Structure formats: structure tokens, C-alpha cells
């Protein structure tokens, strides 16, 4: 048995280290198969253990994985004239699934297979419905069937649980940035809002009129996301802010050092920070804002080093926890994700669980 994990190409090592550590914490010891830049990690383990991991390891809590599913079949010599029949035959023991995602890895090789994915969708759906593997209509409360094409003649097929998977095809959310956003960085904060805040909580956590502080704001991509949600933003950066954003009347620009800036009042709901700085310094600053009760929620980037990225991330997150614990600050949530729009950085979300 095995679980498959999708990640950004080039981050297979981090993804593998993380699944190995998390599986070991559940008493599951396996090994990873992967290739550089394949955007895929296969964690091989004993029968039944893959299913156990898919139920127990929260996909949301994995930093470097976009998706996790259990392998049910692997077909390496598909007849390119009829791929449907062997796929259906390989799934004789499959439980009823609520929907199917036909996927590729997020690589150039993967993208070259997207036409095949489109053309096979209809006939494969029909055949799997007739076989009773797929529900007659798409339903959300059943497992998702993943058909991962690795080449024109090979596919890995498996399933993920609807209560524990990324709800997006290939684990990649579609992100809309505000119209006229002055930098592409806007997509990072927009994605963090979409992926890291549970949908059921969004309205409560992101409200019009909230006060926000954006450290390292220029030219204003992240600020544009906060403005889009009708927040009032203190944008802190020595650089120039986008004029259109300043004209909204929702932004005040402070040409100050983000490490020195503090708001006049303790009424800030959101702190966001995209300063290009040493991760340890940023982590410390974010913890200090929490200890001082200067904000309620914070989203920030931690840049990754060139080497030992997984260890560095663990150390940075541990440093935040330690600093908060030393200051006897409890009752917070800390989560981190290597988002689709993140490259050499991860995005961290720190929030107080209770309103003070």
C-alpha cells in the first residue's frame, strides 16, 4: 500500500521528510519513492496503513503537501486505444466514490497530458458509474477517486476522504486577485485567505471595517486584498505605494521600519507581513505582536534557506511557540503551508483562538 502526495516541483525532499515524520508519529514506518522535480512523493507502507494515514494525518496540517491520497491501483502499460477498460477493471474492490478527479503532476510533463485528461473524463465517468464505482451524480460526502496520469500509458489510481483532503483538483486552488492589484504577490495573500481560513469561519474572521497592518506593503498587492475585503489598512514600507490604492481612502502609508512600527491603539484585527527578511527575525517580530496583544490574526511569510529547508521551517515554528510559551501566551493556533503561489517561502497563519 502507499499514499501519494503532491507538492511543488523541487520540494519532494521536504514533502518526503514531513510525511515520514508524521507517519512515524502514528507508528507507521515506510519509505519514500520520488524523483527530483517530479512534484510527487510516494510513501510506501504496509497494507491498511495507507488508509490509516489518509484518515489520521490532516492534509491541512501538512506544510509541503498539496494533496494526499491512497493508492488503489497502478497501471503501467495502458493500451492507448482503450484506457478506460483496464482502469475500470482495476477498481473492482473500490468503495463507492462521490466524484472523480483526473489529474497530472504540476510539472511540464504533467501539463502535456491535460488534453488526454479532458478527453477521457466523459467515457471514464460513464463506465465507472455503470460499474458502481462512482455515484450517479457528484456528491461531496463520499471519497474522491483520483486518477493520476503519469504518461499517456501509465496511471496511478486511488482515493482520498472528503473530510480530509484538499478540495481542489491537483490540490491547487483557483485564486482571483482584486482587479488592478499592483503586484502579483496579491495572489499569495488571496490564496492564504482562501486556503488557511476555514470557509465556515471566513465571515467571522474577515469583516468589513476591520483594522489591518501590512508590514513590507509596497507596492500594495497584499494591501489590495485587505482593501478588497473593506478593511482599513496601515501600509508600512519605505517604498512607493500604488496610487489607485491610496485613492481608495482605506489606506494610510507609513514610511517607517516594519520592525519598529507599532499601531497607536490595540485595535488591529489583522497583521500581515511580507518583508524580505531573515525568517528568524520575522518569526520573532510576529510573536512579539502577539505577546503585546497588538493584533488578533497574523499571516506572514517565512523565507526558506537554500539548504535544510524542512529543518529550518521546524526550527522557525518552534521558535515562535517557544517565545509565546515563555511569555505565557496560550490559546493560539499556528498553521503553515507552502502555498501554490509560494516559491522559496512558506506562509504562516497565527491567530488567537478567543476574542480578548
Ligand X SMILES: C[S@@+](CC[C@H](N)C(=O)[O-])C[C@H]1O[C@@H](n2cnc3c(N)ncnc32)[C@H](O)[C@@H]1O
Paired strand residues for 297: 270, 351
Q: Which of 97, 219, 341, 345 binds ligand X (CB under 6 A)?
A: 219
Closer CB to ligand X, 94 or 234, in the complex: 234
Decide the pairing of beta strands 332-337 and 295-303: unpaired
**Of the listed pieces 57-65, 97-105, 196-204, 212-220, which binds ligand X according to CB under 6 A?**
212-220
Which of 303, 337, 352, 353 does the annotation list as catalytic? 303
Q: Around 281, how many Cα atoms within 13 Å sit in the side-chain half-sphere?
A: 10
Smallest gap from residue 231 Cβ to ligand X (A): 15
Q: In Å, how far are 54, 247, 267 from 22, measured between CA atoms?
A: 12, 48, 38
Cα(170)–Cα(55) distance, integer angstroms? 19
Closer CB to ligand X, 143 or 279, in the complex: 279
Active site residue 355: no
Q: Residue 69's closest CA among 25, 108, 103, 27?
A: 103
Closer CB to ligand X, 198 or 292, in the complex: 292
**Of the listed pieces 57-65, 253-261, 262-270, 285-293, which binds ligand X according to CB under 6 A?**
253-261
Task: Please answer whether residues 173 and 194 qualify as being in contact, where contact means their C-beta atoms are separated by less than 8 angstroms.
Answer: yes
Q: Which of 43, 221, 235, 346 binds ligand X (CB under 6 A)?
A: 221
Q: Which of 2, 275, 295, 317 binds ligand X (CB under 6 A)?
A: 275
**Of the listed pieces 49-57, 166-174, 213-221, 341-349, which binds ligand X according to CB under 6 A?**
213-221
Q: Does 183 bind ligand X (CB under 6 A)?
A: yes
Q: Does 237 bind ligand X (CB under 6 A)?
A: yes
151: CB partners within 8 A, 6+ apart: 109, 113
Q: Does 277 bind ligand X (CB under 6 A)?
A: yes
137: CB partners within 8 A, 6+ apart: none
Q: In Å, how far are 259, 263, 321 from 289, measured between CA atoms?
A: 10, 10, 13
Smallest gap from residue 135 Cβ to ligand X (A): 42
Q: Does 274 bind ligand X (CB under 6 A)?
A: yes
Q: Does 110 bind ligand X (CB under 6 A)?
A: no
Q: Determine the size of the site formed for ligand X (CB under 6 A).
A: 21
Smallest gap from residue 12 Cβ to ligand X (A): 26
- The span from the first CA to the last CA of the chain, in angstroms, equals 47
Paired strand residues for 334: 350
Give me the torsion for CA of 257, 299, 63, 149, rounded to 10°: -110
Closer CB to ligand X, 156 or 236, in the complex: 236
Paired strand residues for 153: none
Residue nearest to ligand X (CB): 221
- Which residues lie near ligand X (CB under 6 A)? 183, 185-186, 216-222, 236-239, 257-259, 274-277
Residue numbers annotated as active site:
303
Amino acid at each position: 500500500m502507499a499514499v501519494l502526495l503532491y507538492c511543488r516541483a523541487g520540494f519532494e525532499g521536504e514533502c518526503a521528510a514531513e510525511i515520514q515524520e508524521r507517519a512515524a508519529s502514528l507508528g507507521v514506518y515506510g519509505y519514500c519513492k520520488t524523483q527530483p522535480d517530479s512534484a510527487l512523493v510516494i510513501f510506501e507502507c504496509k497494507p491498511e496503513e495507507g488508509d490509516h494515514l489518509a484518515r489520521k494525518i490532516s492534509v491541512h496540517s501538512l506544510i509541503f503537501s498539496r494533496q494526499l491520497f491512497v493508492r488503489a491501483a497502478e497501471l503501467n502499460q495502458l493500451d492507448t486505444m482503450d484506457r478506460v477498460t483496464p482502469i475500470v477493471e482495476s477498481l473492482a474492490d473500490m468503495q463507492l466514490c462521490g466524484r472523480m478527479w483526473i489529474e497530472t503532476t504540476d510539472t511540464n510533463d504533467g501539463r502535456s497530458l491535460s488534453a488526454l485528461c479532458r478527453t477521457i473524463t466523459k467515457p471514464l465517468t460513464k463506465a465507472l458509474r455503470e460499474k458502481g464505482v462512482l455515484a450517479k451524480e457528484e456528491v461531496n460526502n463520499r471519497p474522491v477517486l483520483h486518477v493520476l496520469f503519469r504518461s499517456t500509458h501509465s496511471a496511478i489510481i486511488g482515493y482520498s476522504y472528503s473530510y480530509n483532503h484538499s478540495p481542489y483538483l491537483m490540490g491547487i486552488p483557483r485564486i482571483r486577485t482584486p482587479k488592478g492589484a499592483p503586484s502579483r504577490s496579491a495572489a499569495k495573500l488571496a490564496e492564504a485567505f482562501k486556503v488557511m481560513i476555514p470557509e465556515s469561519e471566513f465571515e467571522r474572521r474577515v469583516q468589513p471595517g476591520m483594522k489591518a497592518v501590512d508590514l513590507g506593503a509596497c507596492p500594495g498587492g497584499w494591501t489590495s486584498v485587505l482593501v478588497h475585503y473593506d478593511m482599513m489598512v496601515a501600509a508600512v514600507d519605505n517604498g512607493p505605494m500604488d496610487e489607485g490604492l491610496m485613492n481608495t481612502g482605506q489606506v494610510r502609508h507609513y514610511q517607517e521600519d516594519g520592525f519598529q512600527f507599532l499601531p497607536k491603539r490595540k485595535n488591529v484585527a489583522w497583521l500581515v507581513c511580507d518583508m524580505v527578511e531573515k525568517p528568524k527575525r520575522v518569526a520573532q517580530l510576529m510573536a512579539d505582536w502577539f505577546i503585546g496583544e497588538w493584533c488578533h490574526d497574523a499571516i506572514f511569510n517565512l523565507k526558506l534557506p537554500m539548504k535544510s529547508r524542512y529543518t529550518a521551517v521546524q526550527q522557525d515554528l518552534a521558535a515562535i511557540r517557544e517565545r509565546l510559551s515563555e511569555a505565557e501566551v496560550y490559546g493560539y493556533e499556528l498553521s503553515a503551508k507552502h502555498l501554490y503561489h509560494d516559491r522559496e517561502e512558506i506562509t504562516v497563519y497565527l491567530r488567537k483562538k478567543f476574542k480578548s
